[in-house]
Amino acid sequence: MIYYSLNKQAPPVSFKEATVLGQAPDKGLYFPSQIPMLDQHLISSINDYSKEDLAFRVMKPYIGSDIDDTALFSIVSEAINFEFPLVAINSNISSLELFHGPTLAFKDVGARFMSRCLGYFSKDRSNTITVLVATSGDTGGAVANGFLGVEGVEVIILYPSGKVSPVQELQLTTCGQNITALEVEGSFDDCQAMVKEAFMDEVLHKKMQLTSANSINVARWLPQQLYYFYAYQQWADKFNPPVVAVPSGNFGNICAGLLAQVSGLPIKHFIAACNINDAVPDYLRTGIYQSKPAVPTISNAMDVGNPSNFVRILEMFKQEFTTVKDCVTGYTVSDEATKATIAEVYQRNQYILDPHGAVAYHALENYLQNYLNIKGIILETAHPVKFPATVEAAIGKSIEIPESAQSIMGKKKISIQMPASFSALKEYLVSR
C-alpha cells in the first residue's frame, strides 16, 4: 500500500516509511492511496472468523509486503489480546466496551499495534527510533504500556504536571526501561507545542529519528477500524446494521470507523459525539469549518479545538460536504448533560458510563428519538474508574478498581521535571 501526504508536497511512501516518519515532511497526514474493498464472504460469514483472523485480514491490505504474514499475524494478535464485549444497556442502546486493555482505555490497541510495527522495522535499522508524545492523560499510559520493552525504540512522554488523574500519572511514570516521563510545568497545549517544535528542529532532525505516537501516525490510526468489525460480529440483526456513536476528540477513532464503512462494513450511520469542543459538529451543521481554542471539560480526552483527523475525513469523502453530512451527524453535549446522563443510566439500567461514553450515549439517545426501529451502539472508550471524581458524584457510590489497575497503585512515580519551554526539551534530548 502506498500512502500520500494530504498536503501533496511530499513524495508518496510505503506503510513502513509512513509509520517511521509519523507525519510527512510537508507536515501533512498520510492517507492510503486506495481504500481496499472487503471480500463479501468476510462480511456475510463474519461470525466464522476468529478475532485474530479478522484482524489480520482487515489490516493486511494496508501493510502490503512491508511485514511478512507470520509476523503480522502475531502483531495483530498481540494488539487485540483482550475482550471487546458488546453489552446491552437497554433495548435500543448497547455499549461496545473498549476499556478491557492494560491501561483501561481504547488507545491500547493502536499503541500496541504501532509499537510492535516499530519494533519489527527497527530490526534492520542501526539507530534507535525515538517516539516523542504529549499527553493529556490516556495516550501517555497506552503508549508507555504498549512500547515497554520494545527493542530499538525509546519513548519520551511529556505530560502537564498536576493535570492528569492519579491513575493516569502512575501509568505514565512507573514503567522504567525504555520509557521516560517528562513532567512539564505547564498545560497540555504547552506539551504539545514543545513536541511540535521538536519535530521541526533541524539539529534534532539530524541527531535522531523522531516519530509521533498519536493518531496522526497511520499505525496508530488504522487498527482502530477493528472495533467496528468486532461490534458487527456481535450484532444480532445483521440485516439491520447499527448506528454507531463515537465520543470524538482528535477524530481518529471515528475516522477509522468511516474507513471500515467505506471499505464495505455495514454501519447504518455515525454520530460524532463531542463535548463543547465542537468544531466538527459545527461544521456538520453549517458547512463551515473553524477551529476553536480547546476548553477544559469533564470528558478531557476530547478537549481538542482543532482535530487532526478532520482532514482525513474530508479526503475520504472527496471534500464533499453533502456526502460527509449523509454519513455523520454531530452532537454537542455539555458537562451538565454528561453528568445527568451518567446518573440516569445508572438509575434506570444499573450501567456505569464514564464521561466520554456518556457523551456518546446522550447524543445517540437524542438521535434515535427521531427514528423507529433503529438501534445503536456507543463506543465506551474508557473505564469509569479513570474518572472517579465525576462518576462517583453522579452515581452516589464508589466504584471498584479493576484488578489490572490495582497492581500499579503502590508503585513509585519516576519523572523528570521540566519547565514549559522548547529549549529545555532540546537541551535534554541533545545531552542524552
Ligand X SMILES: *Cc1c(COP(=O)(O)O)cnc(C)c1O
List residues near ligand X by CB under 6 A.
105, 107, 138, 215, 247-253, 301-302, 356, 381-382
Nine-digit cell at 389? 471524581
- C-alpha distance from residue 270 to each of 105, 257, 266 (Å): 21, 8, 11
Of 125, 95, 135, 120, the residue nearest 382 (C-alpha):
95
Beta carbon nearer to ligand X, 105 or 418: 105
Question: Please, what is the minimum distance in Å from the beta carbon of residue 94 to ligand X?
Answer: 17
Q: Answer whether 219's CB lies under 8 Å from 28's CB.
A: no
What's the CA dihedral at 103, 104, 110, 113 to 10 degrees?
60
DSSP codes joined into one string, 117-141: HHHHHHTT-SSPEEEEEE-SSHHHH
Nine-digit cell at 90? 437497554
- Give dist(CA 93, CA 375) in Å, integer: 6
- Give dist(CA 17, CA 21) in Å, integer: 6
Q: Answer whether 363's CB lies under 8 Å from 333's CB.
A: yes
End-to-end CA distance of the chain: 36
- Give dist(CA 78, CA 82) in Å, integer: 9
Beta carbon nearer to ligand X, 217 or 253: 253
Beta carbon nearer to ligand X, 302 or 363: 302
Beta carbon nearer to ligand X, 243 or 425: 243
Question: Please, what is the minimum distance in Å from the beta carbon of residue 421 to ligand X?
Answer: 26
Beta carbon nearer to ligand X, 146 or 208: 146
Beta carbon nearer to ligand X, 244 or 418: 244
Question: Please, what is the minimum distance in Å from the beta carbon of residue 85 to ligand X?
Answer: 17
Count Cβ atoms below 10 Å from residue 400 Cβ, excluding itself. Answer: 9
Of 372, 369, 384, the residue nearest 329 (C-alpha):
369
Question: Please, what is the minimum distance in Å from the beta carbon of residue 346 to ligand X?
Answer: 18
Question: Please, what is the minimum distance in Å from the beta carbon of residue 423 to ligand X?
Answer: 29
Of 282, 223, 287, the residue nearest 248 (C-alpha):
282
Nine-digit cell at 12? 508518496
Helix %, strand %, coil % of the chain (to 5): 45, 15, 40
Edge-to-edge, what's the strand order for the sheet holding 2-5?
13-14, 2-5, 30-32
Helix (H) or strand (E) holding 11: none
Question: Please, what is the minimum distance in Å from the beta carbon of residue 215 to ligand X?
Answer: 5
Question: Please, what is the minimum distance in Å from the beta carbon of residue 99 to ligand X?
Answer: 8
Indicate which residue of 16, 51, 107, 375 is catalytic: 107
Q: Answer whether 52's CB lies under 8 Å from 109's CB.
A: no
β-bridge mates for residue 74, sequence order: none
Question: Please, what is the minimum distance in Å from the beta carbon of residue 53 to ligand X?
Answer: 25
Q: Is 107 an annotated catalytic residue?
A: yes
Beta carbon nearer to ligand X, 67 or 303: 303
CA angle 157/417/215 to nearest 5° reads 15
Tell me the catalytic residues.
Answer: 107
